[in-house]
Chain A
């Protein structure tokens, strides 16, 4: 069943704040083999001009994937999660995420398309601090494969 087009352009309230922890950054960096000391060593991060450890570029997926549930789990939109494939992903930074950031995600539905029996859902997620500083904008395209 195609997605409900009336969701196009919809915006959502911010998610609950997530505090970025040093150990989460270290754990994620280790899992992807990111050995640069700015991800692991506080002194190295400070020497590079940051207040705390720096998260690797795809780190925000930890919070944006969870935030996406606000959209894709809404039965009214009609996403069959068992048919979902990840299409595109983009991170556009204002500044790197650092440990100690208190972040919220603001979800927007940018586009809903049906083509060739498949549905394409493009979301834009603004990752902001609780002080409303924009840190990174994240685009995620979800493909719902047809029957």
Chain B
């Protein structure tokens, strides 16, 4: 779809379970135990196992791809990680929500500003994606 400045994009919700963290660890090569070991996560002061920041960013990118209707649209993508995303050891896992506003758009490209929340708290700041429109 072609983005227009000021457009508010529909919310997308992703569910992340421990199995998703293990799968992402293998695919990305990030085997930091805070993403799969409760013992290690709590020993370093975390509430429990947390999602890889880069998984949250990848899902934000996936939200952008869905809004854009294609997986090759992103030309510039940046985020700041502001809060950990705890993932409980159950079937439901945790819920990540993404919403966005189109800040600028022309015939060639559009800039999208995302809001990412988990349990009502923002987990990303300065989350922006530039996408091609052609």
Contacts and interface: CB of A to CB of B under 8 A. Distances in A.
Partners in one complex: yes
Interface of A: 24, 27-34, 36, 38-39, 48, 50, 54, 56-58, 61-62, 65-66, 82, 85-93, 96, 139, 141
Contacts of A65: 28-30, 54
B44 A88 contact: no
Contact of A50 (B20, B65, B72): B72
Given A90-B76, A93-B75, A33 B59 contact: yes
A62 B55 contact: no
Interface of B: 14, 20, 23-24, 26-30, 44, 53-55, 57-59, 61-62, 64-65, 70-72, 74-81, 126, 129
Contacts of A30: 23, 27
Given A34-B71, A38-B72, A86-B53, A58 B78 contact: no
16 contacts: A30-B27, A31-B28, A32-B24, A32-B61, A33-B14, A33-B59, A54-B72, A57-B77, A58-B77, A62-B27, A65-B30, A66-B29, A86-B54, A87-B80, A89-B53, A90-B76
The listed residue with most A CB atoms (<10 A of its CB), out of B27, B28, B71, is: B71
A89 B79 contact: yes
Which of B20, B23, B58 lies at the interface centre, i.e. has the most chain A CB atoms within 10 A of its CB? B58
A92 B81 contact: no
Nearest to A58: B58
A93 B71 contact: no
Contacts of A34: 58, 61-62, 65, 71
Contacts of B55: 32
Given A88-B126, A89-B79, 20 more contacts: A30-B27, A31-B28, A32-B27, A32-B62, A34-B62, A36-B65, A36-B71, A38-B70, A38-B72, A48-B70, A48-B72, A56-B65, A57-B64, A57-B77, A62-B29, A65-B54, A89-B53, A89-B57, A89-B81, A90-B76
Nearest to A83: B44
A107 to B, nearest CB: 17
B81 A86 contact: yes
Q: Which 4 A-B pairs have the closest CB atoms?
A: A36-B71, A90-B78, A31-B27, A57-B74
Contact of B23 (A31, A86, A92, A93): A31
B75 A62 contact: no
Contact of A54 (B26, B29, B71, B81): B71
